[in-house]
Amino acid sequence: MKIAGVELLRVAMPLVAPFRTSFGTETTRDILLVRAVTADAEGWGECVAMSSPRYSSEYVDAAADVLRRFLVPALLAAEPPGAHAVADLLAPFKGHRMAKAALETAVLDAELRAAGRSFARELGAVRDRVPCGVSVGIMDSIPALLDAVGGYLAEGYLRIKLKIEPGWDVEPVRAVRERYGDDVLLQVDANTAYTLADAGQLARLDPFDLLLIEQPLDEDDVLGHAELARLVRTPVCLDESIGSARDAAAAIRLGACRVVNVKPGRVGGYLEARRIHDVCAARGVAVWCGGMLETGLGRAANVALAALPGFTLPGDTSASGRYYAADITEPFVLDDGHLPVPALPGLGVAPLPGRLAEVTTAAEWLTG
């Protein structure tokens, strides 16, 4: 597979509203896009690293640096036979899964566009639309939270996820349940904000019939999650702790989780994400597709992944308008609580040139 060059683009995407989690508040996404150009097509990948290393050790400036100095030169020098060879080619460079995922996705997109195959078909999708949930950040007050949740339910979202942290957990969940009832699919996400010493507090969430509690403890504390799973009734879901299919298999064997959130950027790409899906499906563990405030490029790939058979819970594959007033692709629009799975070759979407130009802050072309 002859790759003529790779372009790194930085774009600044203002959010429609501040998004607060236990590790910080975002108002604008600083996003790194990767464009791989071959003789037959071009492909796009989106790096989901954040501006600072708060969600994970990766951050967008480091992703750009490792791509520029190591990953892209290795790719251009090797001329891999296809996207499935990219992960092994980049394996000598430790870590940097989000950067690797963006590059692999760009190569895979180009390959599939040239071959006339869709992302969904390549991954093994079995549905042409997927059910959607929405992630609700930490609010300044309970009334503000209730208004936000009510608005999302009115839009048709089928599942609500509440971000939580110590001091903002039981009462917001109680308020949502009391206002909107037990039929609402509800889950919480702690983003590693608790320790095992908080097990008693987390057990206070059990009466609210939550789908799951996501990543309550530190990402390295898999044994702690296994112990917590014995102390609470609410199913424990792992997110940051799962970096590969091997991680997923080990966590399941230890009893550390009953659900896994699959974020392709976090695990090194969509091909590894599919392997995690397969591992979990073989062991009867539910999976769902997480989100990282992606543009339409990353959203298209996530929707295709969420259409695989093992994704039995609604994911964070929200409509474009949840985060951006104007996306860089044609927007994804919610229809009866679902998003359509793109069927055109590759990702099935591409940046709108005018909109991309408006939000691009830097561009760099790399060749061998």
Between helices 222-231 and 245-254, what is the axis angle to 10°? Answer: 40
d(CA 59, CA 30): 10
* Domain co-membership, 14 together with 110: yes
Q: Stretch 200-211: mean pLDDT, rounded?
A: 98
Q: Tell me: do 209 and 170 sit in the same domain.
A: yes
Give the CATH number of the domain where residue 19 resides: 3.30.390.10
Give me the number of domains the chain comprises.
2
Residue 346 lies in a domain: no
Residue 287 CB contacts under 8 Å (≥ 6 apart), including other chains: 259, 260, 261, 262, 276, 277, 280, 281, 310, 311, 312, 313
Tell whether 173 is covered by a domain: yes
pLDDT band for 42, please (50, 70, 90 cuts). very high
Instruction: Say whether both 267 and 185 belong to one domain.
Output: yes
State whether residue 79 is helix, strand or coil.
coil
pLDDT digits (tens, 9 = 90+) for 139-189: 999 999 999 999 999 999 999 999 999 999 999 999 999 999 999 999 999
For residue range 160-172, what is the model confidence (pLDDT) as tens digits?
999 999 999 999 9
* Residue 187's CATH number: 3.20.20.120
Q: What is the mean pLDDT of the chain?
A: 96
Indicate the angle between helix axes 296-306 and 270-282, nearest 10 degrees.
30
Burial 173-207 (b: 16+ CB within 10 A, else e): bebbbeeeeeebbbbbbbbbbbebebbeebeebee
Task: Specify whether 88 is located in the same domain as 204.
Answer: no
Q: How confident is the model at residue 107 (pLDDT cuts 50, 70, 90)?
A: very high
Q: Is 37 within the bounds of a domain?
A: yes
92 and 126 belong to one structural domain: no
End-to-end alpha carbon distance in the chain: 14
- Whether 152 is in a domain gets the answer yes
Catalytic residue positions, numbered: 163, 263
Domain of residue 256: give its range: 121-340
pLDDT at 207: 98
Q: What is the pTM of this model?
A: 0.95
Distances from the Cα of 204 to the Cα of 170, 198, 257, angstroms: 7, 10, 19
CA distance 165 to 188: 10
Q: What is the pLDDT of residue 146?
A: 98
